[in-house]
Amino acid sequence: MVALDSKSVLERGDAAPAFELPGTDGEPHALADFTDYEGLLVVFTCNHCPYAKAKFPEMNRLAAEYDEVAVVGINPNDAEEYPEDDLETMEARMADGTIAFDAYLRDESQAVAADYGAVCTPDPFLFERAGRENPSLSPAERTDDDAPFHLVYHGRLDDAMAPEDEPGEREMKAHIDAMLAGAPVTEDFRPSRGCSIKWKAGNEPDYFEG
């Protein structure tokens, strides 16, 4: 198991890269499908990594606590090398209640993970919907006014940096609360830590080291 810290590839105010990916419900899900929500928490995660599994309860909790924010897991791992990360196992984790996000999507090509600059599992990105009445981001901070979502914060879910650690602070919850209140999220980037994304041969992005 190789543990890595996430990196800043997308910056605050950047548009969320578009995607359309199959979900565990048998339906495709696109970025634009989530525009009924005020915010979108995208977390690159997987089924087998102990760091990722340790964060399932917090992701489930956030999904249950916020009707205004969609919590979406995206699994980009190479399922040929790591069979537990295939779509069928993702479906089983949803069916048995281990995972209760708003959506759990499969990035088979790994192109979406590369577009977002994802490095590890989990790697969380909090976005704000464009056109909110009380936005957290100022107009000058948004890089593309035509994009449906813009990055508010990229960083860890909480301060527990190892699977066996108990979190002392629900950091992403605080960022979500600030965003929904229209307050700027001023926290400096605090990288997430997790297993390296399992890239297929030739798919490793230039930013990735692992």
- Can you tell me the mean pLDDT for 15-34? 98
CB atoms within 10 A of CB 23: 22
The reply to whether omega before 167 is within 30° of 0 (cis) is no
Q: Supply 29's token pair.
A: 């899900």
Would you say residue 2 has pLDDT above 70?
A: no
Contact by Cβ (8 Å): 52, 195: yes
Whether pTM > 0.85 for this model: the answer is yes
Reported as a single tens digit per residue, the pLDDT across 98-109 is 999 999 999 999
Model pLDDT, residue 10: 94
Model pLDDT, residue 14: 97
Helix 171-180 with 50-65: angle, nearest 10 deg: 30
CB atoms within 10 A of CB 147: 17
Check residue 206 and report its DSSP letter: T
Rounded alpha-carbon distances, angstroms, from residue 20 to 23, 33, 71, 181:
9, 9, 16, 29
Secondary structure of 95-132 as H, E, C letters: HCCCCCCCEEEECCCCHHHHHHCCCEECEEEEEEECCC
The percentage of the chain sitting over the pLDDT mark of 70, rounded to a whole number, equals 98
Model pLDDT, residue 199: 96
Reported as a single tens digit per residue, the pLDDT across 115-157 is 999 999 999 999 999 999 999 999 999 999 899 999 999 999 9
Q: Supply 40's token pair.
A: 């979108």
Task: Evaluate the CA torsion angle 144, 150, 153, 156 in order and state its sign.
Answer: negative
CA pair distance 6, 21, nearest whole angstrom? 22
Model pLDDT, residue 3: 79
Reported as a single tens digit per residue, the pLDDT across 181-198 is 999 998 888 999 999 999
